[in-house]
């Protein structure tokens, strides 16, 4: 399970780098959500794809995500991934952190494939208290 | 959904305070996991109940959890809760933070009840990089 989910995340990172958003969408559930930025949610594959197109443009079409340390907490058909997500880009970014502690929720479907249901690269930074 | 999950978390906090672990276990899925501490996982209701008994004892049977700021990210039958979890106790605790940014994953079962599948009060602190 752990290796399978890591491979999917690697494939997603590659698809984002290559701006191949149709491939990327294969790894999301139909009712998946993406936290575009704090307070802004994309819901469903169509909105998520549009959000990734906008995100790529925002980063001058040079966005390369990679993962550092990762912990996968699995409970049956559900897994919480806690990952150091590193964003590399040509853009001189200051508004958002490029070294994040992300939280991703994956679900196993009936065919046995793990798909991303909740994509929140901001992790617990969404709440402002402390740190 | 949001209010329902908040009420369940409140009931769980009360059950922990009252050390009523049979009631507490009603709010977990059968294959739920609890991160007891970094690197230690309790799996299934029996192990989770034993872990809570040990945690309560560790805190001199005086543990009172409450939640501060909370964000619930819902995708169909799955929800990621990001919550400021405050732990109050008579014990003079220094090893673990008593003001946490927790991550909880809830799933809706066939009866429509939301149950906790992944209970990780340590949030993204489980990975050590940065901060």
Residues A32-90 have pLDDT tens digits of 999 999 999 999 999 999 999 999 999 999 999 999 999 999 999 999 999 999 999 99
Identify the pLDDT of residue B91: 87
| Closest B-chain CA to A77 | B31
If 0-12 CB within 10 Å is exposed, 13-18 middle and 19+ buried, where does residue A96 land? middle
DSSP letter for each residue of A86-122: EEE-SS---SS-SEEEEEEEEEE-TTS-EEEEEEETT
Interface touch A101/B130, C-beta < 8 Å: yes
| Closest B-chain CA to A102 | B124
Is pLDDT of B1 > 90?
A: no
Interface touch B124/A103, C-beta < 8 Å: yes
Q: Say how many C-beta atoms besides its own lie within 10 A of residue A1's C-beta.
A: 12
Is A47 in the B-facing interface, judged by CB distances under 8 Å? no
Predicted confidence band of residue A1 (pLDDT cuts 50, 70, 90): confident
Cβ contact A13:A66 at 8 Å: yes
Interface touch B78/A78, C-beta < 8 Å: yes
B68 contacts in A (CB within 8 Å)?
127, 129
Cβ contact B106:A117 at 8 Å: no
- Choose among B74, B84, B105: nearest Cβ to A127: B84
With CA atoms as reference, report the closest residue to A15 among A4, A6, A26.
A26
Phi, psi values for residue B110, rounded to 5°: -65, -25
Which residues numbered 69-88 in A keep a CB inside 8 Å of some CB on B?
69-71, 73-76, 78, 80, 82-84
How does strand B28-37 pair with strand B114-120?
A: parallel
With CA atoms as reference, report the closest residue to B78 among A48, A43, A102.
A43
Q: Which long-range contacts (CB under 8 A, 24 or more apart) does B15-22 make?
A: B16/B52, B16/B56, B16/B63, B16/B64, B16/B65, B17/B63, B17/B64, B17/B65, B19/B53, B19/B56, B19/B61, B21/B49, B21/B52, B21/B53, B22/B49
Identify the pLDDT of residue A91: 87
Q: Is 0.90 topped by the overall pTM?
A: yes
Phi, psi values for residue B19, rounded to 5°: 55, 40
A41 contacts in B (CB within 8 Å)?
73
Q: What does the alpha-carbon distance between residue B42 and residue B52 come to, in Å, rounded to a whole number? A: 10
If 0-12 CB within 10 Å is exposed, 13-18 middle and 19+ buried, where does residue A16 land? buried
Domains belonging to chain A, first-starting first, are: 2-129 (3.10.450.50)
If 0-12 CB within 10 Å is exposed, 13-18 middle and 19+ buried, where does residue A90 land? exposed
């Amino acid at each position: 399970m752990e290796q399978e989910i890591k491979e999917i995340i690697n494939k997603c990172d590659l698809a984002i780098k290559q701006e191949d958003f149709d491939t990327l969408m294969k790894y999301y559930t139909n009712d998946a959500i993406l936290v575009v930025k704090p307070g802004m949610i994309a819901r469903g594959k169509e909105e998520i794809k549009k959000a990734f197109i906008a995100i790529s443009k925002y980063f001058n079409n040079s966005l390369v995500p990679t993962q550092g340390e990762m912990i996968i907490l699995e409970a049956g058909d559900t897994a919480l991934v806690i990952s150091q997500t590193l964003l590399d880009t040509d853009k001189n970014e200051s508004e958002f952190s490029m070294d994040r502690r992300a939280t991703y929720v994956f679900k196993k479907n009936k065919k046995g494939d793990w798909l991303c249901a909740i994509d929140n690269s901001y992790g617990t930074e969404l709440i402002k208290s402390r740190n």
